[in-house]
Amino acid sequence: MTRGQRVLDVVIVGAGAVGACLSHALSARGFEVGVVDAETGDERASIRTSALSRASLRHLSDLGLWPLEGVEPAPLRALQILDRDGRGRLRFDSADVGEEDLGAIVNHGLLEAALRKKARALGGLWVRERGEGVVIDDSGVEVVTKGGRRLRARLLIAADGAQSAIREQLGVPVVQYRYGQTAVCADMRLGNAHEGVAWQRFLANGPCALLPLPDAHRASLIWSATDQEAAHLRALSDASFARALHEAFGDHLGPLRVEGERAYFPLVAAHARHYTGSRFALVGDAAHRVHPLAGQGVNLGLADAHTLTKTLQSARSHSADPGSRRVLRAYERERKAENLAMLLATDLLNRAFRTDRAWVRTILGAGLNVTDTLPLLKTFFMGAAGATIPRLTHDAL
Ligand SMILES: Cc1cc2nc3c(=O)[nH]c(=O)nc-3n(C[C@H](O)[C@H](O)[C@H](O)COP(=O)(O)OP(=O)(O)OC[C@H]3O[C@@H](n4cnc5c(N)ncnc54)[C@H](O)[C@@H]3O)c2cc1C
């Protein structure tokens, strides 16, 4: 530490949705926060959406971050799930949990930009550079940026996403699995109005979802295909792509048309061996990465941010050091179980619906209709949306 160097409470590396939200939450509670993010952006972020659960909307609202200027949400009124053989059909309605909606679909690029703007408005020290180096000693941690700036704090939070350079610097091991699938994303124009319903069909190569957008005839596509199939889809013209999608998904929303560009995301499940250590904590995709079939990545990250904020607030009220292992372990304990459960559940569903074993598919198809046989599905798709397990309506195709 150099003499006279300012010591912040927290330095956050990465201001995606999770880092920005955390920075806002901590600044609002009087923590001295530094944020390091090059803000170079991923242009693909505006070609996809995020489904925000009711729990996330509640957290954001408690922080004064919802509604969010610059973000037009599409309310999610219901979720319609279909299996690949057309045997099973399952529907969750917001009315089943006594709510107006199950959450909201938002443009991911706009969400990130709006959260960052709100966080910046609360002040703090923002450095528009990449964080590259980390030096930890007994009393604090120093982050060194690409341009050679040094930020010192009592706690470092890595919110720098799935490829976290900070996690690597910290030497935290990661268990990673490549699905061999790529999510193909695009905005689609629909022949029929979506009426606030998100559709998800489990196809032979992965799930294919059409999520409602604010325009009643527009939906956001997330089609998880094998890498090979995705490469084939990439080579198609918009018209041929739309026909291929219509054939795979079915005629539930009428004829489909691509609007704007398509984007491609290789899918990976990953989990850091630990989320915390002396003077550091990992949040969001830097700690865990799940299959997007249940739209939970941001939601889990926002829950990390919420729990870590509570943990640090409680530490401060007991005059405890925010960077101590003991304090940070409480955060890790609380979040690890839920994140791991979601990782495993998404993985299991992705595999189960893709299986070629006819007997498994028959059971799954029946399970979608006889809803009580699949309590996992109920809690899984609805758990984040509301605490109550809904009464489900079901009908055969
Ligand atoms: C196709 C697809 C669909 C998805 N759909 C949903 C959904 O519907 N709902 C949902 O909840 N989740 C969804 N997710 C997951 C979700 O997008 C991620 O979980 C979420 O964006 C992670 O946020 P984050 O802030 O942790 O990381 P990121 O969004 O990756 O942000 C990391 C930030 O760190 C910055 N950064 C990186 N390295 C450095 C560095 N060295 N120094 C400084 N800054 C750095 C980056 O510029 C970026 O701003 C989806 C994911 C995919 C791929």
Spatial neighbors of 85 by CB under 8 A, at least 6 apart, are 361, 365
Q: Where are the domains of the chain?
A: 7-59+108-176+270-346, 74-105+178-268+356-383
Q: How far is the CA of 285 from the centre of ligand 1 (A)?
A: 6
Domain over 74-105+178-268+356-383 is classified CATH 3.30.9.10: yes
Helices (H), the chain: 17-28, 54-62, 108-121, 165-170, 227-235, 238-249, 297-317, 325-354, 358-369, 375-383
**Which position has the higher pLDDT, 164 or 97?**
164
Nearest-CA residue for atom 37 of ligand 1: 160
Say if residue 60 is exposed, middle or buried (CB neighbours under 10 Å; 0-12, 13-18, 19+). Answer: buried
- For the cut 80, the answer to whether the pLDDT of residue 154 exceeds it is yes
The predicted-structure confidence for 2-44, as pLDDT tens digits, reads as follows 667 899 999 999 999 999 999 999 999 999 999 999 988 888 9
The predicted-structure confidence for 311-327, as pLDDT tens digits, reads as follows 999 999 999 999 999 99
Distance separating alpha carbons of residues 277 and 279, to the nearest angstrom: 6
Establish whether residue 83 lines the binding site of ligand 1, counting it when its CB lies within 6 angstroms of any ligand atom.
Answer: no
Q: How far is the CA of 307 from the centre of ligand 1 (A)?
A: 18
Pocket test for ligand 1, best of 49, 157, 160, 291 (most atoms within 8 A of CB): 160
Establish whether residue 159 lines the binding site of ligand 1, counting it when its CB lies within 6 angstroms of any ligand atom.
Answer: yes
Judge contact between 172 and 270, C-beta under 8 A.
Answer: no
Assign domain 7-59+108-176+270-346 to its CATH superfamily.
FAD/NAD(P)-binding domain (3.50.50.60)
List the structure tokens of 34: 């530094």
Nearest-CA residue for atom 29 of ligand 1: 16
- pTM for this predicted structure: 0.93
Q: How far is the CA of 163 from the centre of ligand 1 (A)?
A: 10
- Domains 7-59+108-176+270-346 and 74-105+178-268+356-383 alike in fold: no
The predicted-structure confidence for 232-266, as pLDDT tens digits, reads as follows 999 999 999 999 999 999 999 999 999 999 999 99
Other beta carbons within 10 Å of 387: 10
Mean pLDDT of 273-302: 95
Ligand 1 atom at minimal distance to the Cα of residue 185: 1
What is the length of the chain? 397
